[in-house]
Amino acid sequence: MRKVNIPISDEVIHSLKVGDTIALTGQMLTGRDAVHKWMIETFIKKTREPQGDDLEVYEAIKPILECGVIYHCGPVVSGLDTGDYKFVAAGPTTSIREEPYQGDVMRHFNMKGVIGKGGMGALTLQACNEVPGVYLHAVGGAASLIAKSVEKVLGVHKMDFGVPEAIWVLQVKEFPVVVTMDSHNNSLHAVVEEKSKANLEKLIS
């Protein structure tokens, strides 16, 4: 398993290929539906005016996402009453819900990695080619194991979105993932889909 530090350089991104197993170390953010919608509407397409702490949060997360990574995750977190946060479970959520947003978010922040499960589509693959970046598949059903890679919760933003949808700032060590979409226009998910479609056509023909 190859060790990769965050932030990630373009050189490292270009060296990664579909099927590579890597272990990430550094800071990353979590972000799901509410976060991506907020990013797009407030700072990218600007269809809504910044409100409350929007600008403050944007300035806080921007340097972390520069050459950084976002994790599609709805964590189970202890210490909510005391502020002594700890990830109890940190499994990936299904990524395809972010397909309408992800490419634009990657370009805007110069973001190099997206972690989730289930893969993403052509829009994200195109962004991986352009930015450049990679889509990284985390193991579903291993939420407690993955949580052990989270050394520390450094902070949290947008708790008004709710605990699973908030932006959690994490320090991770050797976080295990597999490259399933690379910067060379290769997608393991597209290959699987094509093979599945071909097999289905054989069955029904």
- From the list 14, 36, 137, 184, the catalytic residue is 36
For 29-97, the DSSP string reads: EE--HHHHHHHIIIIIS--S---TTHHHHHHHHHHHHTT-EEE-B--EEE-TTTT--EEEE--B-BGGG
201 Cβ partners below 8 Å, 6+ apart?
none
Altogether, the residues listed in the chain come to a count of 205
H/E stretch holding 198 reads helix 188-204
Strand, helix or coil for residue 131: coil
Annotated active-site residue 36? The verdict is: yes
Task: Report how far apart, in Å, the C-alpha atoms of 145 and of each of 35, 60, 70, 79, 174 are.
Answer: 25, 28, 19, 19, 12
C-alpha angle with apex 35: 28 to 143, nearest 5 degrees? 55
How many Å apart are CA 185 and CA 160, to the nearest integer? 37
* Residues 90 and 146 sit within 8 Å (Cβ to Cβ): yes
Residue 121 φ/ψ, nearest 5 degrees:
-105, -160
Q: Provide the annotated active-site residues.
A: 36
